[in-house]
Amino acid sequence: MKLTGKEARKLLFDPIVENNPIALQILGICSALAVTVKMDVTLVMCAALTTVVAFSNFFVSIIRHYIPDNIRIIVQMTIISSLVIIVDEVLKAYVYEISKQLSVFVGLIITNCIVMGRAEAYAMKNPPIRSFLDGLGNGFGYSFILIVVAFIREVFGAGEFFGIPVMPSWYPVNNFLLLPPSSFIIIGLMIWAIRTYSTSQVEENDNPLKAHTFKPLTVKKEAVDG
């Protein structure tokens, strides 16, 4: 079936707010904590993951009809790891200092739930172009969250933006925002904001707490007499 412009826009832009992989699906949290202290490092990580998830979707989709079901995860991980190695080598060649700061987190893209999840859930069932756009869209959704978190942490934490001081000289460095736990709080606030804006994302409470009802203790007459 031919891909329409409306469908392409849905694939690209729905994961940014309506179906964000971090805010709604709670995936890819580890890198969101570790690489969002500086904006330049964050942008490189976002570009790396978006590239891997888009092209892994594309290549998995191309060969989806030839992958035996019992080894499909192995094939998917082989494709993903090959792309991660290529991306890692490119980063070392062109942005070596940032590559050193990213350290193991580029390699951990191999096991990122966003990448593996889209390959299994979407690319295995859809044609290559749709799968590529789905990968791009999920990469954009991931990038949106990380960029906002990095902006808040760098500007209000270190008082800088891309390493350039932007806050007044009297502004004290907020060390808490430079620590990984601050990412949890910022992401939590973003999830609250997104779900306030899009109420369809709020889960129904399947196990509501019920008020305890206490029944008066009754003692049988026979027990008392005995």
Domain ranges of the chain: 5-201
The closest alpha carbon to 112, from 195, 21, 175, belongs to 21
Identity (one letter) of the amino acid at 26? I
Burial readout 9-31 (b: 16 or more C-beta within 10 A, e: otherwise): ebbbebbbebbbbbbbeebbeeb
| Mean pLDDT, range 20-27, rounded to an integer | 78
Give residue 210's pLDDT. 59
| Helices (H), ranges, the chain | 5-13, 29-34, 39-62, 72-94, 96-102, 113-118, 128-153, 181-197, 221-225
As a whole-number percent, the residues of the chain with pLDDT over 70 amount to 87
pLDDT number for residue 57: 93
Answer yes or no: are the C-beta atoms of 144 and 16 closer than 8 Å.
yes
pLDDT at 78: 92
- What whole-number distance in Å separates Cα of residue 92 and Cα of residue 99? 6
Which residue has better confidence, 138 or 194? 138
Nearest to 24, CA basis, from 122, 110, 145: 145
DSSP secondary structure string for all residues of 92-105: HHH-HHHHHHHGGG
pLDDT at 24: 77
Q: How confident is the model at residue 89 (pLDDT cuts 50, 70, 90)?
A: very high
pLDDT at position 189 over 80: yes
| DSSP SS3 for 179 | coil
Please answer whether residues 183 and 33 qualify as being in contact, where contact means their C-beta atoms are separated by less than 8 angstroms: yes
Mean pLDDT over 65-85 rounds to 90
Question: Do residues 15 and 76 lie in contact, with contact meaning Cβ atoms separated by under 8 Å?
Answer: no
pLDDT of residue 159: 82
Q: Is the pLDDT of residue 165 over 70?
A: yes
Q: Residue 31: which residues within 8 A CB-CB, separation 6 or more?
A: 45, 49, 105, 108, 109, 112, 146
Q: 217: which residues sit within 8 A by CB, 6+ positions away?
A: none
Tokens read off for 2: 């031919």
Bigger pLDDT: 218 vs 111: 111
How does residue 123 score in pLDDT terms, banded at 50, 70 and 90? confident
What's the pLDDT at 59?
Answer: 93
